[in-house]
Chains A and B, each alone.
Chain A
Amino acid sequence: MPLLWLRVALVFYGLGLVYALLALARKAESLAKVTMPALWLGLTFHFVSLAELTLEQGHLTPSTVHHSESLLAFLIAAVFLAFWVKYKTVSPGIFVFPLVFMLTLAASIGQQPQEFTSPLLRKGWIFVHVTLIFLGYAALFLSFVASMLYLVQERRLKSKNMGKWLRLPPLQVIDEIGYRSLLLGFPFMTLGLIAGAIVAQEQFGAGFFRDPKIALSIMVWVIYMVLLFTRWTAGWRGRRAAFLSTFAFIAAVGTWAANYLSGTHRFLGP
């Protein structure tokens, strides 16, 4: 059943994806009205799917790679929706929808992936860790999207050619979205890392810092701290912040991919 609901959600996200593609081809107007309701519906079904999965396995922590992809997609879509409620701008969707769709697609392909068998997953702390980190990722992804949009809009304003496709939000609004999502994501990531550190300390001892995924995570965290700090003190924003944020995002993707190199994050049974 959870898989069915997930696939229903996928259809709705697909609508958003079509919107994103059409927006690039300047034909998005016709779909603009249905995109956000589709996202609402997609999120609802996605939530049902996640809830059923949790009930089935008896604990909250994702137990497969697919499950964690599904959770991440859900959180990204939710954060995007939250910003839409505040700023009423669909533009980040051109990045958000493809990612959410891809993650959900990967999660809904029926093939049974490797299961995390580690008894570690039954612990409450690990759920806190994963969820917080994922929330952090979701918010930071949105911040990255805002950076991209900022660069596009800034380029348009500078070159005095506003372009016909996709009317972007005002520059300062994009900047604010980027900053707010940074503000939102940073605490999650910080707390997530702390939670992770506690678990790892208990499980692997002091050596866990040497794990590549953990090292990368800490680097991402440092970049984000620098981002916020320079903004507060020197007023770094705009292009410089956008480049830094892009860099941080790439590092974050690296962190996500580093699962396969990491001894601590494979969650395989002994």
Chain B
Amino acid sequence: MTFILIGVNHNSAPVEVRERLAIPESRLAEAITRLAHFPGVEEGMILSTCNRVELIANIADSSVDLRGFLREYFETDTDSLAGHLYEYREQEAMRHIFRVAASLDSMIVGEPQVLGQVKAAYAVACGVGALHSQLHALISRAFAVAKRVRTETAIGSSAVSVASAAVDLATQIFGSLAGKHIYLVGAGKMSELAARHLIAGGAEAIFVANRTHARALVLAEKFQGTAIHFEELYETADRADIVITSTGSPCAIFRREHGERFLHRRKNRPMFFIDIAVPRDVDPEMNKVDGIFVYDIDDLQAVVSANVASREREAARAHEIIEAELQRFITRLQTQEVAPTIISLQEHLENIRQAELDRARGRLGKLTPEQESAVEALTRGIINKVLHTPITALKNAAGDAESNTVIDHVRRIFNLNPRNITSGRLNSGNSESQGLGAKSPDSKSGTAKRIPMGRPRDKQEEPLREEEKKATPS
């Protein structure tokens, strides 16, 4: 078992690169399925948001290279990504996913959306059966860590959202926002948030256009604005001073010539485009039009440079929480590795004890309750004394490179069943703790003696838990 994580984020790659790798929501399930079936990958999940695209997998042996998956999936050569891709393994991968979920790796540290996005990705991965015990446990833990960070530090409260950065910029352009018109193109969570902030800043009428008109209607009603049919977008957009775009369109919706036309109709009154979408909805060329100002998601980052000091302090505290949780998780993983052997060792000796007791009972005749308990205590005591050394040895070996050798020796000496999969399929997805429990001996097969598990997942996994279903993509 090895965790591996590769990806790009807002720090490692500019938006031009990220948009090449972005996987739209509609294709995420398929992409995760393909990742889970990539040779050597046992479990996999993909997180694709406007600020990051990350692949995390539990791989059979450490030679697996997820770049191969990227090459295959995007039909691109990964050399061009070399400077932007980061790869983490094992502890680093775990730490990274904890940090991402806790919003420490976010463009705007502490912003709350990323947890929802991880949850959504997790739900999709569960839905296609791409998660089993290990990765499942890791992601579940990441949620718990994120929650802890949120409640125990002030990182969320001091977070400056992209939205307020947008408001700040709009003020730099327009001065007062009073009476300014806002146009929402695409009905995403982020754009809704930005619109809410702008309205709080005094902006007035709202227009909403969305490919699915019904969603436009819902959002327009929320803001008491006007829903506009997507086809009328170009005829109506010049009414807006501020345009917020967040559609899933693969190519730019607004291009330079549109901007020139809008400005002409507006008699050159300035327009401000806030492009939250990845891939971008507004052609960067548009920024060259006199009187039009285009800010994409990366540009907003630059604006959010203030307020850093207090967030850094909180981030340091959050970091401590994450390190502590990481150690706990690793310890649990390691004990999980030896736990099946310990249990079968205990069961084995207990069986011997019971068998010997049964045989001796006839010769002992009827015993008084006191005698009965004395015999019981005696036999148990012997077993525990005998077991003490091997169990200690196993526990000490947990996490070591030789843990498999120790496990094998113990099993051979005590003539335990070879590590098997008799306990059946993993109960992945049943509960957060189960994956970490000691009940899945098969999950821990060492690389040396791995019994091919085939791919018994995919379809026959149990259905999603309710709360996973509810995790809505954002």
Contacts and interface: CB of A to CB of B under 8 A. Distances in A.
Contacts of A236: 268
Interface stretch (B10-18, B138-146, B167-175, B321-329): B167-175
A240 B263 CA distance: 14
Contact of B293 (A157, A237, A240): A157
Interface stretch (B65-73, B295-303, B367-375): B295-303
A171 B269 contact: no
A2 interface: no
A172 B175 CA distance: 6
Contacts of A170: 171-175
A173 interface: yes
Contacts of A169: 175
Given A235-B266, A235-B269, A162 B293 contact: no
Contacts, number: 46
Nearest to B287: A158
A240 B290 contact: yes
A236 B174 CA distance: 17
A1 interface: no
A49 to B, nearest CB: 37
B270 A172 contact: yes
Nearest to A176: B175
Given A171-B270, A238-B268, A238-B270, A160 B299 contact: yes
Contacts of B270: 171-172, 238
A157 B291 CA distance: 10
A234 B268 CA distance: 8
Interface of B: 169, 171-175, 266-270, 287, 290-291, 293, 295, 299, 302-303
A151 to B, nearest CB: 12
Contacts of B291: 237-238
A234 B267 contact: yes
A67 B270 CA distance: 43
Contacts of B266: 235
Given A170-B174, A234-B267, A235-B269, 8 more contacts: A157-B293, A158-B287, A160-B303, A170-B173, A171-B270, A235-B268, A237-B291, A238-B268
A191 to B, nearest CB: 29
Given A157-B293, A158-B287, A235-B266, A172 B303 contact: no
A162 to B, nearest CB: 7
Interface residues of A, number: 18
B268 A237 contact: yes
A161 B290 contact: no
6 contacts: A157-B169, A171-B172, A171-B270, A172-B270, A234-B268, A239-B290
A170 B291 CA distance: 13
Nearest to B298: A160
Nearest to B300: A160
A171 B174 contact: yes
Nearest to A87: B175
Contacts of B175: 169-173
B471 to A, nearest CB: 34
A64 B4 CA distance: 84
Nearest to A175: B270
Contacts of B173: 157, 170-172
A156 to B, nearest CB: 8
Nearest to A236: B268
Q: Which of B169, B175, B303 has the most CB atoms of chain A within a 10 A radius of its CB? A: B175
Contacts of A234: 267-268
Q: Which of B172, B267, B299 has the most CB of A within 10 A?
A: B172
A122 B293 CA distance: 55
Contact of A160 (B174, B267, B290, B295): B295
Contacts of A158: 287, 293
Contacts of B295: 160
A157 B290 CA distance: 12
Contacts of A157: 169, 172-173, 293
Contacts of B268: 234-238
Contacts of A173: 175
Contacts of A240: 290
A173 B295 CA distance: 21
Interface string A153-188: 100011011100000011111000000000000000
B389 to A, nearest CB: 67
A160 B173 CA distance: 12
A232 B292 CA distance: 20
A234 B172 CA distance: 24
Nearest to B168: A162
Interface string A53-95: 0000000000000000000000000000000000000000000
Nearest to B295: A160
Nearest to A153: B172
A169 B175 CA distance: 8
Nearest to B268: A235
Contacts of B302: 160-161
Nearest to B299: A160
Contacts of B174: 170-172
A193 B241 CA distance: 40
Contacts of B269: 235, 237
Interface string A202-241: 0000000000000000000000000000000011111110
A26 to B, nearest CB: 15
A162 B287 contact: no
A157 B292 CA distance: 10
B267 A235 contact: yes
A239 B302 CA distance: 25
Nearest to A233: B267
Nearest to B265: A235
Nearest to A235: B267
